Amino acid sequence: MTHHTPISANGVPPQRRTCRPRNAVALLALSALTGAVWAQSGEKIKVGFMLPASGTYAALGVAIENGFRMYVGEQGGKLGGREIEYFKVDDESDPAKATDNVNRLIKRDKVDVIVGTVHSGVAMAMARAAKESNTILIVPNAGADAVTGPMCGPTIFRSSFSNWQTAYPMGVVAGKQEGKKNAMTITWKYAAGEESVNGFKEGFEKNGGKVNKQLTLPFPNVEFQALLTEIAAAKPDAVYAFFAGAGAVKFVKDYHAAGLSKTIPLYGPGFLTDGTLEAQGDSAQGMLTTLHYADELGSERDKSFRTNYAKAYKLAPDVYAVQGYDAAQMLAVGLKAAGGDVSKKDVFRSAVEKATIASPRGDFTLSKAHNPVQDIYLRKVEGKENRKLGVAVKALADPARGCKL
């Protein structure tokens, strides 16, 4: 018995298989019927989490999974009328192991849906495998521009952002609003870091600035001293950095300890200070970043999300938890339309494409390439919070260069 022959596998009389609905009402009725059949059969939807459970991004993986499970819990444990069963792989944020890891979920566990991951290099291998096997993939973080660019696909969706999308607005703010003229960038040398600093450069240079030097170190190294010495000697007007997770904690602390935060403002995409403020303490105070989320946005949706999350997991909610929660919301939309039948990929796809997702970040829709079209907030660190100062760019869509869908 496979997951792709639901009707015969569940003992529905054979004439149902040959019925040909002639109109939309009949189609809807059929979809409700198959939903009921699935629910009766007790067969669960298999969701495979491929997330980092170790390494510099481990906390991000935890927040994503928590957010996802929280939404499913709010729906009584069922989406599209079917219970959810979870499978897990620790991807270690290691691109070299990514293809084997994703195939554990696709081929060994035979999951219906893959949810992952954090690291862009790993996510690109996942997108390839999802496309080849026609498996639904929802990316709850990794911003690799290619995933909703040249590698985009009919079953590939993202609940988070593209690396360009969170970086370009910070370049605009640094040049236009803050009036900075020259900047240095610093990041890990891999897709996310490179795309992020290039996005910043594009926004900055369109607004009167110039990026003079781009510093890198291998992922996930945190020996920043030599590079900080180089920044101190060059004295740029500003520094833009992409780091996240434990690496972001260490970088912001080291930058402050080197005395640089007094004279050279440190900017970044919001990952530099999201989910990290408890550990960064004084070192992050006053920092400006741009992101599609901020603490205390004030909507009822966000308030209840934050309260419920803090209560359920004894953790401060952050952008990663939001992205996990919204990945589950997107899955719910698609499964509901498909009556719980994951083999109806076209129905699933068009429902998610048309949906407005009621996210704690604010409502968003998906672009043609399946990436959120969303407001990017300008935030300032105050105490333990990333406070919203305003909207840096409204309803920003990733250009989706190279996507043919």
For position 192 contacting ligand PHB by CB under 6 A, the verdict is yes
For position 156 contacting ligand PHB by CB under 6 A, the verdict is no
Q: 293-312: which residues touch ligand PHB (CB under 6 A)? A: none
Nearer of residues 243 and 348 to ligand PHB, judged by Cβ: 243
How far from 49 is each of 78, 113, 334, CA to CA, in Å?
Answer: 17, 9, 18
For position 332 contacting ligand PHB by CB under 6 A, the verdict is no
Q: Phi-psi region for residue 400, left (φ > 0), alpha (ψ -120 to 50) or beta? A: left
Quote the CA–CA distance of 392 and 270 in Å, as a whole number.
Answer: 12
Nearer of residues 271 and 309 to ligand PHB, judged by Cβ: 271
Quote the CA–CA distance of 167 and 394 in Å, as a whole number.
Answer: 14
How is residue 61 written in tokens?
């993986």
The minimum distance between CB 164 and ligand PHB, in angstroms, equals 11
The minimum distance between CB 144 and ligand PHB, in angstroms, equals 6
Q: Which of 118, 151, 333, 335 binds ligand PHB (CB under 6 A)?
A: 118
Nearer of residues 270 and 340 to ligand PHB, judged by Cβ: 270
Which helix (H) or strand (E) covers residue 131, if one does?
A: helix 120-133
Lay out the site mask for ligand PHB across 236-275 (x = CB under 6 A, - = otherwise): --------x--------------------------x----
Nearer of residues 119 and 361 to ligand PHB, judged by Cβ: 119
The minimum distance between CB 384 and ligand PHB, in angstroms, equals 18
How far from 281 is each of 250, 254, 354, 363, CA to CA, in Å?
Answer: 11, 12, 42, 31
Residues 258-289: b if buried by 16+ CB within 10 A, e if exposed: eebbeebbbbbbbbbbbbbbeebeebbeebbb
Residue 328 backbone phi and psi in degrees, to 5: -65, -35
Count of residues that interact with ligand PHB, criterion CB under 6 A: 12
Quote the CA–CA distance of 401 and 224 in Å, as a whole number.
Answer: 33
For position 142 contacting ligand PHB by CB under 6 A, the verdict is yes
Nearer of residues 117 and 283 to ligand PHB, judged by Cβ: 117
Cis peptide before 265 (omega within 30 of 0): no
Nearer of residues 63 and 351 to ligand PHB, judged by Cβ: 63
Q: Which stretch binds ligand PHB (CB under 6 A): 113-121, 331-339, 342-350, 381-389?
A: 113-121
Nearer of residues 217 and 244 to ligand PHB, judged by Cβ: 244
Q: Which residues, 6+ apart, have CB-to-CB distance to 88 below 8 Å?
A: 48, 49, 50, 51, 53
Quote the CA–CA distance of 327 and 117 in Å, as a whole number.
Answer: 11
Q: Which stretch binds ligand PHB (CB under 6 A): 117-125, 278-286, 298-306, 362-370?
A: 117-125
Quote the CA–CA distance of 302 and 297 in Å, as a whole number.
Answer: 7
Q: Which of 143, 153, 169, 317 binds ligand PHB (CB under 6 A)?
A: 143
In the complex, which residues of this chain contact ligand PHB (CB under 6 A)? 57, 118-120, 141-144, 163, 192, 244, 271
